[in-house]
Chain A
Amino acid sequence: MAYLTDRKRAEGLGSSKTGTEHFWHMQVSAVALAILVPVFIFTFGGILGAPYPEVLEYFGRPFPAIVTGLTLFVSFIHFKNGAQVAIEDYAHGLTRKALIIGVTCLCYACIAVGLFALVRLAL
């Protein structure tokens, strides 16, 4: 027999208290990607398959380098936030925490590697 009321048992469970902000960030990054992704598809699609010197020259130019850098940064943040919602729907407890941390670290690592590569290609 427990003496806690239903409300007392439910308090602090469920809402993470940051859902509204999370949702807003998804909307902002979605709008940014709605512009970036079509540009990126044809920027990256145009150079994939080209010989090495051409690739070097291409990413030395400001427009392809900036579009690629921006798309990588915004899309990996958007991925991190979107995957987190999916994980929160299906995984619970320690598995949930481990998966969210794993996805977050993977996204940060990909951003770092991508930006490093672009800087090295551009300079």
Chain B
Amino acid sequence: MADVNRGNRPLSPHLQIYRKQLTSVTSILTRITGNGLIVAAVLIVWWLLAAATGPEYFAFADAVLRSWFGKLVFFGSIWAVWYHFLAGLRHLYYDSGRGLDIPTAEKLGWGVIIGSAVLTVLTVIIL
């Protein structure tokens, strides 16, 4: 028994073999949005550094953030941050041991998707 299947076992999470479900897709999206937010975060830090450096450098960084590229990143990031925000609240709720039955979990999944879209539209209107 001691030398069967030595270290060549399948590794988790092994995403590709599972059928996609609302709960799994919304959970994977939490990770993707969270990691993707690094782009906007680094841009914000760079913009602050530019503002602290002087008017010429600020004008350059500000132009980049307000260009079509910057607008695209920030529009995407507004959705990503709201998605990650709602999905994070859902995870905190799950972690308390609640909402884990399938009908509730599915409802929470739709809540995260629809909620993030609504909050994104509201944020774009307000800002």
Interface residues, chain A, with chain B CB atoms under 8 Å away: 1-6, 9, 27, 30-31, 33-34, 37-38, 41-42, 44-46, 48-49, 52, 55-56, 59, 68, 72, 75-76, 79, 82-83, 86, 89, 92, 106, 110, 113-114, 116-118, 120-121
Contacts and interface: CB of A to CB of B under 8 A. Distances in A.
Interface stretch (B16-24, B85-93, B104-112): B85-93
B58 A55 contact: yes
Interface residues of B, number: 40
B13 A4 contact: no
Given A75-B41, A83-B35, A68 B51 contact: no
A46 to B, nearest CB: 7
Contacts of A113: 45-46, 48-49
B127 A89 contact: no
Chain A binding site: helix, strand, loop or mixed by DSSP? helix
Closest 7 pairs (CB-CB, A-B): A120-B52, A117-B48, A117-B52, A45-B127, A114-B45, A117-B49, A110-B45
